[in-house]
Amino acid sequence: MSENCIFCKIIAGEIPSKKVYEDDVCVAFNDISPQAPTHILVIPREHFASLDEAETKHKETLGHLLLSAAEIARQSGFAKNGYRVVINTNDDGGQTVFHLHVHLLGGRQFIFPPG
Ligand code: AMP
Ligand code: ZN
């Protein structure tokens, strides 16, 4: 747990969230400012700030986050239609919360490249 990290506080239950999935490695909850009909954040229980800070020891955790996002998409019913997975990284990537997280967005069509 990193002090002053809002996502660590969500994991600890100190800040409320609408959890949709959790296991021993990750927690998934609804984004507070959804950018699509479904917008879920999948975060590791272990705090590390960004993909830029990921190390070889995080390999399994990173894979787990992606597989969890794919499973949540299937369970949510939009996997066949399609969805988008995003990891904003550092300032140019638009990252605002520095606890690594995977955005899972579904329920509408997305354009590429994003803005
Ligand atoms: P990013 O810009 O990639 O760092 O994404 C951070 C995301 O966290 C944004 O989509 C925010 O809407 C979302 N967010 C911030 N605070 C909360 C919160 N307390 N509960 C749920 N989502 C949040
Ligand atoms: Zn954290």
Q: List all residues whose CB is within 6 A of at least one atom of ligand 1.
A: 6, 15, 17, 31-33, 41, 88, 94-97
pLDDT category at 2 given cuts 50, 70, 90 is confident
Provide the mean pLDDT of the chain.
97
Mean pLDDT within 19-24: 98
Mean pLDDT within 32-55: 98
Whether residue 49 lies inside any domain: the answer is yes
pTM of the model: 0.98
The count of other CB atoms within 10 Å of the CB of residue 7 is 23
Q: What's the pLDDT score for residue 3?
A: 86
The ligand 1 atom at the shortest distance from the C-alpha of residue 39 is 10
DSSP one-letter string for 56-73: GGGHHHHHHHHHHHHHHH
115 pLDDT higher than 90: no
pLDDT category at 85 given cuts 50, 70, 90 is very high
Q: Residue 30 is part of a domain; what is its CATH number? A: 3.30.428.10
Pick the catalytic residue from 39, 99, 101, 103.
101
Whether residue 54 lies inside any domain: the answer is yes
Whether residue 112 lies inside any domain: the answer is no
Residue 58 among the catalytic residues = no
Query: What is the count of structural domains for the chain?
Result: 1
pLDDT category at 100 given cuts 50, 70, 90 is very high
Contact 68, 21 (CB under 8 A): yes
Question: By residue range, what is the domain housing residue 18?
Answer: 6-106
Whether residue 36 lies inside any domain: the answer is yes
Of the candidates 55, 67, 50, which has an alpha carbon nearest to the alpha carbon of residue 104?
67
